[in-house]
Amino acid sequence: MTPPGKYGDQLIDWLVGAGYTHCFFVAGGNIMHLLDSVRTRMVCVPFVHEVAAAIAVEYFNASRDDGSGRALALVTAGPGITNALTGIAGAWQESRELLVLGGQVKSSDLSRGAVRQRGIQEIDGVELVRSITKRALQVERPVAREKILDAVLSGRTPRQGPVFIELCLDAQAAPPLPDQEPVAIPDAATVAQVSSADVKQVSAWLQESERPVILVGGGVSRGAVRALGDRPAAAGIPIMTTWNGTDRVPTEHPMYCGRPNTWGQRAPNILIQQADLVVAVGTRLGLQQTGFAWEQFLPVGRLVQVDIDAAELHKGHPRVDLALCGEADSFLARLYASHLGDPDQWKAWRDFIASVRAELPLNDALNLTAPGYVKPYELAMRMCDVAEPNAIVLPCSSGGAASVSMQAYQLRAEQKLIGDKSLASMGYGLSGAIGAALANPGRQVILSEGDGGFAQNLQELGTVAATGIRLKIFVMVNNGYASIRMTQRNYFKGAWIGCDAQTGLGLPNWEQLASAYKIPYALLDAECGLDAVYVRSLLNADGPALIEVPIDPEQTYYPKISSAVQPDGSMRSNPLHRMSPDLPAEVEERVLAHLRAVAPQVCD
């Protein structure tokens, strides 16, 4: 390795030693020394906008299971930092690792709060990001390796999150510190473990239960579930997943029974509400998971929650009967290694689950699609079958394209799904897909994003074209913001504003846009759909493709949980088992049989 000629070289060498292999950046004057240092030490990928670089880093790291390399984001001072804020916030809320190096003016030009700005492009980045990072550090002059790596490693455990390091321009260019050669990274600190007594207690409750469910969240790793082998199937306990845990348990798993969520699938929403015991592992059980009417979550059963963050266990919602602070992977392995009882004792419950899932299809019969448009639920239900066996599929983060994907995707064993649903920001999909594709060269990556959200970061088609990644983009074109249009219809009697072309929203011609970037394009035919030869050809080819999907602007998106505005202006939401449209009385009587028998008042 070439000896460092300046502190910037030295710092980047430390990060290389910590496992960083890729740098996603937007060039700028206040990072010129860091950029000069990183260009010969990492794979450097220029982005058009800093928010895209930050989001891509999050997805790059989230899509790599083998720990073979990490990416970081490098952004300049001032607007470079403010542009990256959304990406930092998303990683914070999703509990994902994200290292952002930010530039800053010379230390002699810092205003230090005396005036609003002294140095050109100066803004206090540390103060801006403090509430959405695990560590935010400003470097005015070179600091020791231990201080830098202590900050960097804090983002990895026990609950992951972003780390921001802001370096003054003169610190970047300063002479390297003596006696600071890269050494081996220390082992991660020991993570809290759930006690053996608590594992035994959960096992005992499972043996006593008649209608148990294990809910697997994103805090459980893919590898940990794969390492269980056949034990979950042999145990006979039904398994559900959160949205972030979607790819932990494939659709074809014999114990898999769906993804409950506020915007989730009707059958598992109904079923989890009838469980007499839910063991929620590696999930914070936020309002998306329990419903906004969280007081009515799991009305007839006990709840065990296992999470690494004690604050999430004791936040007050939902009611938790046994809160266990500890590492999810280890807990799950120890639970399945314990004695759980006779699998036959839950056969009636498994049969009931199968009957409810058969009666309540993913595509609600009341969904309406006008002639000439693609049926979005049918498209999503087939997407994972058409995708390659190890494809990475990415639903966008908000709107109809997101909810349809998460309701209807049927993931196969080796496929991955990555999303960012907590912030639910439009425009996440393309940036995240770029990061996932760069992390997995040659692997097929499929993105589904609405036209309104896609337009918010469409400049990164330049990054797609420049890198030649194998990204297949399905743009769901429904003339703008369908979910906003629905909100304005339902709550404001169709007082339309800023939701489509007719109300002032400007969107491109997608074929011409693809052509401008020399990206292969196709228009999905409503009749042939994914079976069209030209579509299959684009999906199988190397390199990127953009496929326009015509979606009915008046498309309905059922089922959903409805909310009503109260006289005092507050919102009242239905519980998970009360999705719209209402089920026929005879169907409801069958699928809510246990809830009606144990707590009939909950069904009213």
For the segment 274-289, what is each residue's pLDDT rounded down to a tens digit? 999 999 999 999 999 9
More confident residue, 569 or 238: 238
Burial code (b: 16+ CB inside 10 Å, e: under 16) for 96-114 equals: bbbbbbbbbbbbebbeeee
Amino acid 601: pLDDT: 83
Which CATH number do you get for residue 475?
A: 3.40.50.970
Res. 604 pLDDT band, cuts 50 70 90: confident
Amino acid 157: pLDDT: 87
More confident residue, 102 or 480: 102
Amino acid 566: pLDDT: 77
20 domain residue, yes or no:
yes
Please say whether the beta carbons of 71 and 23 come within 8 A.
yes
Amino acid 483: pLDDT: 67
pTM value is 0.95
Amino acid 495: pLDDT: 72
Residue 98 has pLDDT above 90, yes or no: yes
pLDDT (tens digit, 9 = 90+) per residue, 52-71?
999 999 999 999 877 679 99
Which is nearest to 257 in space by CA: 223, 282, 228, 232?
232
Amino acid 182: pLDDT: 63
Residues 298 and 403 grouped into a single domain: no
Please say whether the beta carbons of 239 and 255 come within 8 A.
yes
Distance (Å, whole) CA 95 – CA 286: 13
At which residue do the structure tokens 């598992």 appear?
A: 268
- Which token pair is 600? 């009939």
34 domain residue, yes or no:
yes
pLDDT (tens digit, 9 = 90+) per residue, 163-217?
999 999 999 999 999 988 766 677 777 889 999 999 999 999 999 999 999 999 9
Please say whether the beta carbons of 386 and 380 come within 8 A.
no
Number of domain units in the chain: 3
Amino acid 96: pLDDT: 96
- Which token pair is 197? 């007594």
Residue 480 has pLDDT above 70, yes or no: no
Residues 340 and 473 grouped into a single domain: no
Residues 213 and 158 grouped into a single domain: no
Residues 256 and 334 grouped into a single domain: yes
Concatenated DSSP letters of 519-555: --EEEPPTTTGGG-HHHHHHHHSSS-EEEEEE--TT-
Residues 427 and 533 grouped into a single domain: yes
596 domain residue, yes or no:
no
Amino acid 397: pLDDT: 83
Please say whether the beta carbons of 408 and 559 come within 8 A.
no
pLDDT (tens digit, 9 = 90+) per residue, 13-40?
999 999 999 999 999 999 999 999 999 9
Amino acid 176: pLDDT: 96
Residue 502 has pLDDT above 80, yes or no: no
Distance (Å, whole) CA 146 – CA 153: 10
Amino acid 1: pLDDT: 61
Residues 151 and 34 grouped into a single domain: yes
What are the CA-CA distances from residue 493 to residues 427, 490, 501, 554 (Å)? Answer: 27, 6, 19, 15
Which CATH number do you get for residue 335?
A: 3.40.50.1220
Residue 565 has pLDDT above 80, yes or no: no
Residues 272 and 380 grouped into a single domain: no
Residues 328 and 474 grouped into a single domain: no
Residues 425 and 540 grouped into a single domain: yes
Report the pLDDT averaged over residues 441-446.
Answer: 96
The alpha carbon dihedral of 582, 585, 586, 589 has a sign of positive
More confident residue, 490 or 191: 191
What residues contact residue 125 under an 8 Å CB cut-off, 6+ apart?
A: 77, 81, 102, 104, 136, 138, 164, 166
Residues 136 and 217 grouped into a single domain: no
Q: Which residues pair with 136 in a beta bridge?
A: 164
Res. 570 pLDDT band, cuts 50 70 90: confident
575 domain residue, yes or no:
no
pLDDT (tens digit, 9 = 90+) per residue, 329-367?
999 999 999 999 899 999 999 999 999 999 999 999 899
393 domain residue, yes or no:
yes
Amino acid 203: pLDDT: 98
pLDDT (tens digit, 9 = 90+) per residue, 351-407?
999 999 999 999 998 999 999 999 999 999 999 999 999 999 999 888 888 999 999
Query: Where in the sequence is the domain holding 500, given as residue range(s)?
Result: 376-550
472 domain residue, yes or no:
yes
Residue 587 has pLDDT above 90, yes or no: yes
**Percent of the residues in the chain that have a pLDDT greater than 70, as a whole number:** 97
581 domain residue, yes or no:
no
Residue 501 has pLDDT above 70, yes or no: yes
